Structure 1
Amino acid sequence: MKRITKSCICALLIGAMLPFAVCGQTKSSPQGQMMVRLSEIEILPEFLTEYHAILKEEAAASVEKEPGVIAIFPMSIREQPTQIRIIEIYADSAAYQSHLKTPHFQHYKTTTLKMVKALKLVDMTALDKQTMSEIFKKLKQ
């Protein structure tokens, strides 16, 4: 029997979620549509441990305190630990905009600014919007 590792779960989540994500940040995008973003971040090696601690705290606070934050799922590329990827899922673009103003996000952003070598935010577009809720039902099993 194969052991399920965190990396297997991460790969499964990425493979499952990204095709169903809905971009919601642009002004032309209707309210009420789920927004999914992939953050691609490169961290300076000397700050990696400190960055992980701050990111973990921010992600947990976002999911716990913000009803519009469905998921903030940080991970790193196994062979390149300074390469961080975060799947961010928001109820809609208003939830995302609200998230940006929270104290925990502002703390994350200001304290990690010097640690970030590169940042790319990738908004995703749904291929099959109806399937997204099924993913989360399976995670509960």
Structure 2
Amino acid sequence: MSEERVVRMAEIEIDIRHLDAYHALLAEEISASVAFEDGVLSLSAVAVVGSPEKIRILEVYANREAYEAHLQTPHFLKYKTGTAGMVTSLTLLDVEPIIMCSKP
């Protein structure tokens, strides 16, 4: 099993009419992922100031296997199907951390 962390940035645009519903599904998915998946180290979602429909999610997984397992969980699949008609644009970027620091 690979021990190299996987760090990704999701750039998502949401149909503004569905923003509240999207936020609810996103919050449920992130909470479940962090609570129930050991390999999900961190998920953080933010909106671009002045453009609340532009969502950015920083995802940190313990390794590639954890990331792949995350994509098959019931809570992720519920999020993916529930938001399908809300998302107008999705770009997934593999990113290389320069420095990541947080308090425990």
TM-score normalised to the size of structure 2?
0.94
The percent identity for this pair of structures is: 42
What is the distance in 2 between the residues matched to 1:68 and 1:122? 19
Task: Tell me the amino acid that sits aligned with residue 76 of structure 1.
Answer: A
**Structure 2, gaps ≥5 residues long:** none
Partner of 1:86: 57
1:67 aligns with 2:59: no
- Quick one: which of 114, 118, 122 aligns to 2:85? 114
Give CA deviations for 1:67-105 in whole Å, capped at 9, x if unaligned.
000011011011100000000000001000000000000
Higher strand share: 2
Task: Tell me the amino acid that sits aligned with residue 22 of structure 2.
Answer: Y
Greater than 3 Å deviation, 4+ residue runs: none
Higher helix share: 1
1:105 aligns with 2:76: yes
Equivalent residue of 2:85, what SS?
helix
Give CA deviations for 1:95-136 in whole Å, capped at 9, x if unaligned.
000000000000000000000000000101245xxx64xx13
1:47 aligns with 2:18: yes
Equivalent residue of 1:51, what SS?
helix
How far off is 1:52 after superposition? 0.3
Task: Tell me the amino acid that sits aligned with residue 24 of structure 2.
Answer: A
**Structure 1, gaps ≥5 residues long:** 1-29
Task: Tell me the amino acid that sits aligned with residue 34 of structure 1.
Answer: R
Greater Rg by CA:
1
What is the distance in 2 between the residues matched to 1:51 and 1:126? 27
Equivalent residue of 1:101, what SS?
coil
TM-score normalised to the size of structure 1?
0.70
